[in-house]
Amino acid sequence: MAEASTALKKAQEIAEQAQVALKKKTTTSTSTASATTTQSQTEDKFADIDTNTFYKIVFTDKLDPEEKKKAVAEALTFTLESTKEENSTRLKEFTEFKRYLQNERKRLAQEIIKMTDTGAFSELQGVIEDLNSGLLEFDNRMTPLTEIIDAVYKLRLEGGETVLGVFKEIKEDQAAEEQRKKDLQAAEGKLNGFDSQIKNINGDLAVLENSRSNRKWLGLGGLKDDAIRSIAEKKQELADVNGNVEQTAQQIEELKDPSKARDSKYAQFAEQKSKLRELLDLTSEEHKARQKDLVAAAQDFVNTSDMRVGTVLSHLEGMTGQIEGLHNVNNGMQSVYAIMTEASKDASDANQKVRDTLQPPKEGGETPISQMQRDSKKQAVEEYITNLDSSTVDTMKTYSDLTSQAVRIKQMGDANREQVSKTSELHSSGIAGVADRLSTVLQAVSAAALNESSEAARQSLASMTDKTNAVAMQESIRTAMGIKEAATGLNKAVDDLAAYGEVLRTSSQITREGIAEIKTGMSSLEESIKKSQKDLKEAYAVNAEAAGLQVADPSQDNKPAPAVVEKKKTGGSPFDTFNK
């Protein structure tokens, strides 16, 4: 046990250094002065401890632990050569030395208590506050972006023209919202106009009802008929305006509610539509700012975690020094009490042997005076043994307590060592791992947004392709229909030409027959003309020929001349033939 005194002295040095450091940090002069006064009084009580026999034995560097144990045992052994008072004085010195050790034990423990880290709970509060606040901030920045990406993803997975249809509805909603605002502004302006009208009408009514010019009997009688009619008209006008006011006020209340949903073909995607609306309502710069805020929140979380965990680690490492101080004090005290415990046992055995020498002689023959002297010494030894045994029990209890304390200190040290290891790992790989994960997540969010952009562009292009294909196909059908119509027109033209041909052939036949008839008629006409000319000549010659004829028989007056009658039968008017 050569290390006993060295360990205790080292513990004392640690405590003294702690006390010096503590004095530098002390700001409360009153409490410091009070503590210093109490400590001074205690130190004055043990000011001459270095003269104590057991102090000189235990804390000498000239003896090893076994020699110290032997020397303490000898000092605790009752010597017959010494007086009872001298033996009692050594026992009192032993008790005083134990009190000194207990005082040192208490003082060193108090010094270590003063070194206790008072910022532990403050650090706990800071860790919970800062790290959880950083986590919530990051989550608040991340959630809106991921919700938008999820919404676009779900709409895109629906296929077809869902994204385009929802987008169209959003644009229509935005237009309807703008129109609602305009209508609201117009309605409010209209209501203000009604207020002015009401004021004017009320003013006119006041004039009509109170003006003397509107009253009979030089303004002293009742209202004139014209005034009564005018008042009735104004009141009716006022009632009409009030009705318009109520109607307009109700319209304003309805227009003030922007939550009135329009009919939607995509009601099942209301949540996704809302997120897409949020995406579209913000400008590009606003979205950049949101993502920058997310990046800043991630950076702040990493920096805060690094700072906070580093601070916790420094506190834990400080605890390591305090635990080492406790261990050194405990180890030094255990060494001293081990020496004292073993020495007390040896001294107890030696004192029993001294007592044995004071037993009555077996053969007798002891004089009364010798017996009295022997009994007196024996009684002194027995009293000494009793006191020493009582002190030994107290020493054993203290030694047992120090051993239990050593176990607790070891457990504390092991736990602190493990916590330092975990915190060191957290401060290094843990925070680095979180930073890596955050960087991966942020890149994943950006990649997801770009992927959805690519897919949205692909769907838009596909929709445009479908629409252009539809237009192209429609134009192809229209062109084909034009060709069909041209073919139909051509067929109609052919039919028409065929009809024209038939008509021409018929008309030609008719013409031919007509010409033939004309030629026949002309021949007949020519013959008729010749006959008519002949008849005309004969007509001219009738009178002349008649003058040269004999007078006819009166009996034949009633008979027509045969020649003339024949001519009428065979000839006739030339126009008759022509008319045929």
Domain boundary among 228, 252, 281: 281
**Tokens of residue 487, six digits:** 């073919």
Residue 514 is assigned to a structural domain of this protein = no
**Tokens of residue 7, six digits:** 């360990």
- Given a cut of 60, whether residue 304 has pLDDT beyond it is yes
Residue 480 is assigned to a structural domain of this protein = no
Residue 476 is assigned to a structural domain of this protein = no
Are residues 255 and 311 both part of a single domain? no
Task: Label residue 547 by pLDDT band (50, 70, 90).
Answer: low
Task: Label residue 30 by pLDDT band (50, 70, 90).
Answer: very low
Are residues 415 and 330 both part of a single domain? yes
Residue 387 is assigned to a structural domain of this protein = yes
* Residues 215, 234: Cα–Cα separation, whole Å: 17
Are residues 173 and 275 both part of a single domain? yes
Residue 572 is assigned to a structural domain of this protein = no
Are residues 275 and 302 both part of a single domain? no
Are residues 172 and 222 both part of a single domain? yes
Q: 296 or 173, which is more confident?
A: 296
Give the percent of the chain with pLDDT over 90.
3
- Given a cut of 70, whether residue 400 has pLDDT beyond it is yes
pLDDT, position 549: 55
Contact 138, 297 (CB under 8 A): yes
Tell me the average pLDDT across 290-307: 89
Domain boundary among 253, 281, 309: 281
Tell me which residue of 458, 452, 459 sits closest to 161, measured CA to CA.
459
Lowest-pLDDT range of 238-247, 266-275, 462-471: 462-471
Domain boundary among 252, 281, 310: 281
Residue 40 has a CB neighbour count (10 Å cut-off) of 10
**Tokens of residue 235, six digits:** 């009141």
* Residues 297, 435: Cα–Cα separation, whole Å: 12
Are residues 231 and 340 both part of a single domain? no
Residue 438 is assigned to a structural domain of this protein = no
Lowest-pLDDT range of 209-213, 268-272, 291-295, 307-311: 209-213
Are residues 318 and 244 both part of a single domain? no
pLDDT, position 567: 41
Q: 223 - beta bridge partners?
A: 215
Q: pLDDT tens digits for 471-508?
A: 777 777 777 777 777 667 667 767 766 776 776 677 77
Residue 526 is assigned to a structural domain of this protein = no
pLDDT, position 296: 92
- Given a cut of 80, whether residue 297 has pLDDT beyond it is yes
* Residues 563, 531: Cα–Cα separation, whole Å: 15
Helix-helix angle 368-425:84-114, to 10 degrees? 10
Give the percent of the chain with pLDDT over 70.
81
Contact 395, 337 (CB under 8 A): yes
pLDDT, position 55: 92
Written as one string, the DSSP assignment of 49-111 is GGG-HHHHHHT-SSS-HHHHHHHHHHHHS--TTS-HHHHHHHHHHHHHHHHHHHHHHHHHHHH
> Residue 101 contacts by C-beta under 8 Å, 6 or more apart in sequence?
333, 336, 337
Q: In the block, which residue shows the tokens 């036949």?
A: 509
pLDDT, position 185: 86
Contact 319, 418 (CB under 8 A): no
Report if pTM > 0.75.
Answer: no
- The CA angle 12-92-386, to the nearest 5 degrees, is 120
Total domains present in the chain: 2
Tell me which residue of 313, 305, 315, 318 sits closest to 127, measured CA to CA.
305
Tell me the average pLDDT across 81-100: 86
Are residues 212 and 277 both part of a single domain? yes
Residue 341 has a CB neighbour count (10 Å cut-off) of 19
- Given a cut of 70, whether residue 513 has pLDDT beyond it is yes
**Tokens of residue 256, six digits:** 């003030």
Are residues 203 and 270 both part of a single domain? yes
* Residues 339, 398: Cα–Cα separation, whole Å: 13
- In three-state secondary structure terms, 215 is strand
Are residues 421 and 332 both part of a single domain? yes
Contact 375, 79 (CB under 8 A): no
Handedness of CA 485, 489, 491, 495 (dihedral sign): positive
* Residues 375, 366: Cα–Cα separation, whole Å: 12
Q: 168 or 572, which is more confident?
A: 168
Range(s) of the domain holding residue 346: 3-128+298-358+376-427
- Given a cut of 50, whether residue 122 has pLDDT beyond it is yes
What's the mean pLDDT when you consider all of the chain? 77
- Given a cut of 50, whether residue 389 has pLDDT beyond it is yes
Q: 215 - beta bridge partners?
A: 223
Q: Exposed e or buried b for every residue in 406-423, given b needs 16+ CB within 10 A? A: beebeeebeebeeebeeb
pLDDT, position 25: 38
Q: Exposed e or buried b for every residue in 65-91, given b needs 16+ CB within 10 A? A: beebbbbbbebbbbeeeeeeeebbebb
Tell me the average pLDDT across 111-139: 84
Tell me which residue of 84, 100, 21 sits closest to 358, measured CA to CA.
84
Residue 460 is assigned to a structural domain of this protein = no
HSE-up of residue 395 (Cα within 13 Å, Cβ side):
23
**Tokens of residue 459, six digits:** 């769907």
Lowest-pLDDT range of 318-327, 381-390, 543-552: 543-552
Q: 42 or 531, which is more confident?
A: 531
Main-chain dihedrals φ then ψ at residue 543, nearest 5 degrees:
-60, -40
Are residues 266 and 316 both part of a single domain? no
Are residues 179 and 245 both part of a single domain? yes
